[in-house]
Structure 1
Amino acid sequence: MTTTETVAGITLHRSKGEGTLLVLLHGIGSNAESWAPLMAVLPPALDVIAWDAPGYGTSAPVAPESPTPSDYAAALLRVLDALGHARVRLMGHSLGSLFAGRFAALHPDRVERLALLSPALGYGVTAGPLPANVQSRIDDLTALGPQDFAARRAARLVFDAENRPKVVEGVRRSMAAVNPPGYAQAVHALGAGDLLADAPRLTMPTLVATGLEDVVTPPDNARRLHAALPNPLRLAELPAAGHAMPQEFPREMAAILAETLLA
């Protein structure tokens, strides 16, 4: 059973067990709902939390208009402190990997194990305008509105989308629910982030996973990140998986996590 609670201004979707706390951070065009297929097949004893990131759903936004991943890491720290958890297993998907990596680099004592799925590496732009391909995300959402934005983009996240309509619909539904101001802040954080620069500081055992058909964050992103880690776990490459890997193959992902992140 999944419940919803608000902690330190952040909405959390929780499947509460008595075991290890696993924290899940979603991607840029998504929300906590994107983790539902995976949460449904994880061991019921786990205590699992998926956040609606700051500025998503009913979660309070971060303060800066143009934030960096450190601002989202600070929000996560406030949540964990309020919950009273000193150490967690942490997993991010896409932009969530950028946030998870930043948190783990800043607070390595708080992360027992780390998983970075379909990792967005960031662009390392801390001053000046965003790269055109990054700024276009904000411009497209502004021009189209969330519903049409999601309708145009959702299928690109799913490999063999025509034969996976339920997965595409789940991706579309989450994307259509984005709040434009919160999304714009997240885009700025994507532009400012640099996961490869953080990688040498990720001293905890770290899993990296990618879909071999991912055209959003290609497999080479994951390979470069895995090679830069000081304490890598498995580099998991899922054939026939696109960017929405946890939604496309939740049981396969759960099995990989059982052998690595949750071992």
Structure 2
Amino acid sequence: MVSKAMHRIDQQVPVLPIGDGVARSARQQQRSPYLYTDDEIQRILHAALLYPSPKASWRPVTLFTMLVLAYCAGLRGGEVARLMLGDVDLREQTLEIRETKFFKNRRLPLAPGVMTSLKHYLVVREQAGAPTNPESPLFWSPQRNCGYTVGGIRLILTDVLRRADIKPARGAVGPRVHDLRHTMVGHRMRDWYKAGINPQSKLPYLATYLGHKDIRSTLVYLNITPGLLQDACERFRKNGAAAPQTRESLP
């Protein structure tokens, strides 16, 4: 950027090339988040359960559980990779998230359906011979005798997206795994509107659940979709219709 600015002033100043890694990172940061539909979420989960793994029969359940946590709990890829077996509290139905992006822990209550999936995975994990000490990685690969890395999770879940025919077969274009986190926020906002709940009053709780320092970070995830806009307009219409009736009833 600096070399281009100097080149405009003095054309004898050369324009330095940008490395492929820097350019790729800049393009990725500029990409708009993709919000999956309910049907696409089901297709992704179905593709995970059908993932071909003849030498590791437990892998489809592992991928399915990773995706459930990424979508239903809005976990980052790094948070999924750092989960330990002791972070799961079956009695309290919570999940402890440690060493987050902003260096603070948080405890997440999980929905009954998520807990059911997690309990099933724990049974499969034990049957696969994974270590049972609380400090062992939650997502364990018996073939490699260690936990999954952040990069490994990203690669294999991206392959799931491709097998679900949601992401192109090649290249970095198309929906990303991280977009599941954006979708979680969008769907939560949608469900609040449909339930007649004012989403604004819930944003501080949502920010805490996502592990954000403040609500400003959460606002980045609030992507307006046609469906969400329609729900917001419908809520405004109902509230607006009630207001004139109240004023007319006054003496």
What TM-score do the two structures reach when normalised by structure 1?
Answer: 0.28
What TM-score do the two structures reach when normalised by structure 2?
Answer: 0.29
- The structure whose residues are more often helix, as a share, is 2
